[in-house]
């Protein structure tokens, strides 16, 4: 009985250690962001979801959500916030909308096919939920926090794409493609490196 308890404790410590390491890697990667050509430069792409998705695949969807949470909390401590925490909460929801479905699908059948299906579903969830949050929460909040009308953000998008003329088209032609592109890129990188890294995470 004691040996079983001891093994469970060791397993829990190992899992928490892996979550901590992956969160730290994700936090570092979050610092290296850059804009994309089809979206205003306040949308920055980074690869911090790669270690989060790898952790979700290796340790399960709950662990993936924990890595996402710790990553955002660490970034909050390092860089602070301009939105009173609203942006961080939204980022957590958006990140989990990608990681949790993908990891959940993979958990039930660990194969390349299920991983791809999971990442496709996760990318679609990321795109839909990310677009909805930007439309209903993030952009209105940023407008109030920065004291700028939403039209200012729309105009920044219009400079890049003349089809962007209001909030709906900003979300349709910039936010949705941004999240879709992010999901595809993160999924592709994860697919390429997961098999090489997973043996370390399963020790």
Helix (H) or strand (E) holding 44: strand 44-45
What is residue 56's predicted lDDT score, i.e. its pLDDT?
Answer: 96
d(CA 33, CA 85): 20
Task: Please name which of 144, 103, 145 lies closest in space to residue 121, comparing C-alpha atoms.
Answer: 103
Q: How many CB atoms lie within 10 A of CB 9?
A: 10
What is residue 4's predicted lDDT score, i.e. its pLDDT?
Answer: 56
What is residue 54's predicted lDDT score, i.e. its pLDDT?
Answer: 97
What is residue 79's predicted lDDT score, i.e. its pLDDT?
Answer: 83
d(CA 74, CA 112): 32
What is residue 6's predicted lDDT score, i.e. its pLDDT?
Answer: 58
Instruction: Write down the pTM of the prediction.
Output: 0.91
Is the Cβ–Cβ distance between 71 and 30 less than 8 Å?
Answer: yes
Helix (H) or strand (E) holding 140: helix 139-145
d(CA 31, CA 71): 11
What is residue 11's predicted lDDT score, i.e. its pLDDT?
Answer: 65
- Domain parsing of the chain, residue ranges: 2-201
What is residue 42's predicted lDDT score, i.e. its pLDDT?
Answer: 87
Give how far Cα 60 sits from Cα of 55, 96, 143, 182, Å: 7, 12, 37, 21
Topology (CATH level 3) of domain 2-201: Arp2/3 complex 21 kDa subunit ARPC3 (1.10.1760)
What is residue 201's predicted lDDT score, i.e. its pLDDT?
Answer: 76
What is residue 9's predicted lDDT score, i.e. its pLDDT?
Answer: 65
DSSP string, 160-171: H-TT--SHHHHI
pLDDT mean for each 10 residues of the chain (203 residues)? 56 86 96 93 94 96 97 90 80 96 94 96 98 93 86 96 97 97 98 88 71
In terms of Cβ atoms closer than 10 Å to its own Cβ (0-12, 13-18, 19+), residue 3 is exposed
């Amino acid at each position: 009985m004691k040996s079983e308890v001891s093994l469970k404790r060791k397993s829990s410590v190992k899992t928490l250690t892996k979550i901590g390491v992956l969160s730290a890697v994700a936090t570092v990667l979050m610092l290296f962001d850059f804009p994309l050509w089809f979206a205003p430069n306040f949308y920055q792409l980074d690869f911090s979801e790669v270690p989060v998705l790898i952790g979700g695949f290796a340790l399960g969807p709950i662990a993936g959500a924990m890595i996402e949470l710790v990553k955002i909390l660490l970034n909050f401590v390092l860089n602070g916030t301009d939105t009173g925490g609203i942006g961080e909460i939204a980022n957590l929801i958006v990140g989990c909308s990608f990681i949790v479905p993908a990891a959940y699908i993979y958990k039930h059948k660990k194969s390349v096919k299920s991983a791809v299906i999971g990442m496709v579903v996760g990318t679609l969830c990321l795109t839909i939920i990310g677009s909805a949050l930007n439309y209903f929460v993030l952009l209105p909040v940023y407008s109030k926090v920065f004291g700028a009308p939403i039209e200012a953000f729309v105009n920044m998008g219009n400079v890049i794409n003349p089809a962007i003329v209001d909030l709906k088209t900003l979300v349709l032609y910039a936010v949705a493609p941004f999240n879709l592109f992010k999901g595809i890129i993160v999924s592709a990188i994860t697919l390429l490196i997961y098999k090489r890294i997973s043996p370390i995470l399963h020790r």
